[in-house]
Amino acid sequence: MREFKTILVTGGAGFIGSNFIRHVFRKSGYKGKAVNLDKLTYAGNLLSLTDIEKEYGGTRYFFEHVDICDKAGVMKTLKDTGADCIVHFAAESHVDRSITGPGEFIQTNLIGTFNLLEAAREFWKDRKDVLFHHISTDEVYGSLGDIGYFFEDTAYDPRSPYSASKAGSDHLVMAYHHTYGLPVTLSNCSNNYGPYHFPEKLIPLMILNCFEGKPLPVYGDGMNVRDWLYVEDHASAIWKIITDGKIGDKYNVGGENERPNLEVVNLICEIAAGENGKPKDEYKSLITYVKDRPGHDRRYAINCDKLKKELGWKQSVTFEDGLRQTVRWYLNNPEWIESVRSGEYRKWIEKNYAARD
């Protein structure tokens, strides 16, 4: 089992990154430090980590307000912290935004990853006791028909600007391993859901719209299929891979929980109604079919046997339980929702971090 002294988490203020940092401190048994390097785009929210900041801030948890496209800033952070592991989440992550504005996706996902790899290579030189773990997506494999699965050796066939930028970054990571011997691991994951999910993505958007009696916009015929994974299970998978994964290997991570979007939305309606003390079908009339996403991938389904067999990982919650916990989390955290929507959290950041920047 590999051990690290200081893990640099890029994009740690985002949805999965913040859940991963919480997992590292609360569940993994890790005794070292974690540095959250984040640009704090619209999707980055330090309020997602106030509990961690309160308990470990300044001793084992640190925040660095840095853009991964700024190589000097990244180099300074590496030198200041002496990080021996990088877990790279930072990205533009929303497919719809990549359709209307692909430029940021190329910049952060491709150029930013390149910068980070260059900085790691320069800082670590030929060290072998270090690790660069890259977080990627099942979307790099393209779109499936009614049958079949994505395996680790499935050929890449990205079809949106988002997935193309992620595919490019995956290739760069592997190229740095093969060409320069940089110790890397890579994971390709299906759709995450859970607490701290930015409410532009399907599940949190539908939950909040149910609570607020707003239309539930279903793209196309609602029969596009996604595989859903609880974010805490993704965090535990990443921990397994960085500590026990084979250097130079890639691992698929999935929920083994395929659902058509319409089924997901109906389930959310039922759970949200139950949690709000309303009749089961109360919110279903809000479902509204809207224009489809251009180039909308039809089906993703991931085979994650390698991770299960080689590293002994498994999912911990059923979709119904995970979704119920998620609905409850959104019901119980109105301040977080308000802060994300109002931009109020930026004022909090300015107040708390201005002195450090």
Residues that bind ligand NAD (CB under 6 A): 10-11, 13-17, 38-41, 43-44, 67-69, 89-93, 108, 112, 135, 137, 166, 189, 191-192, 198
Q: Minimal distance in Å, beta carbon 276 to ligand NAD?
A: 26
Binding residue count for ligand DAU, defined by CB under 6 A: 19
Q: Is 139 a catalytic residue?
A: yes
Q: Minimal distance in Å, beta carbon 293 to ligand DAU?
A: 6
CB-based contacts of 337: which residues, under 8 Å, 6+ apart? 199, 208, 330
CA 344 – CA 347 distance, rounded (Å):
5
Applying CB under 6 A, among 30, 219, 329, 348 the residue interacting with ligand DAU is: 219
* Stretch of 75-83, 98-106, 136-144, 273-281 lying at the interface with ligand DAU (CB under 6 A): 136-144
CA 207 – CA 88 distance, rounded (Å):
28
Length of the chain: 357
Structure tokens at 45: 């929210």
Q: Minimal distance in Å, beta carbon 289 to ligand DAU?
A: 9
Residue 218 contacts ligand DAU per CB under 6 A: yes
Cα 155 to Cα 14, 115, 163, 297, distances in angstroms: 29, 26, 13, 16
Residue 224 touches which of ligand NAD, ligand DAU, none (CB < 5 to 8 A by kind)? ligand DAU
Q: What residue ranges in the chain does DSSP mark as E strands?
A: 6-10, 33-38, 61-65, 85-88, 131-137, 184-189, 191-193, 216-219, 225-230, 250-253, 258-260, 287-290
Q: Looking only at residues 55 through 94 of this chain, which bind ligand DAU when binding is defined by CB under 6 A?
A: 93-94
* Stretch of 27-35, 52-60, 133-141, 334-342 lying at the interface with ligand DAU (CB under 6 A): 133-141
Residue 300 contacts ligand DAU per CB under 6 A: yes
Q: Is 147 helix (H, G, I), strand (E, B) or coil?
A: coil
Q: Which residue has the tokens 């009339």?
A: 285
Residue 138 contacts ligand DAU per CB under 6 A: yes
Q: Which residue has the tokens 């659902």?
A: 259
For residues 84 and 232, which CB has a smaller minimum distance to ligand DAU in the complex? 232
Q: Is 42 a catalytic residue?
A: no
CB-based contacts of 278: which residues, under 8 Å, 6+ apart? none
Q: Which position among 67, 92, 139, 233 bears the catalytic label?
A: 139
Q: Is 170 a catalytic residue?
A: no
For residues 81 and 192, which CB has a smaller minimum distance to ligand NAD in the complex? 192
Applying CB under 6 A, among 191, 266, 326, 339 the residue interacting with ligand DAU is: 191
218 beta partners: 289
CA dihedral (121, 124, 125, 126) positive or negative: negative
Applying CB under 6 A, among 36, 169, 224, 315 the residue interacting with ligand DAU is: 224
Q: Which residue has the tokens 């021996």?
A: 84
CA 249 – CA 156 distance, rounded (Å):
16
Applying CB under 6 A, among 13, 37, 66, 205 the residue interacting with ligand DAU is: 205
Q: Which position among 61, 141, 149, 162 bears the catalytic label?
A: 162
Supply the residues annotated as catalytic. 138-139, 162
What is the binding site for ligand DAU (CB under 6 A)? 93-95, 137-139, 190-191, 201-202, 205, 217-219, 224, 226, 261, 293, 300
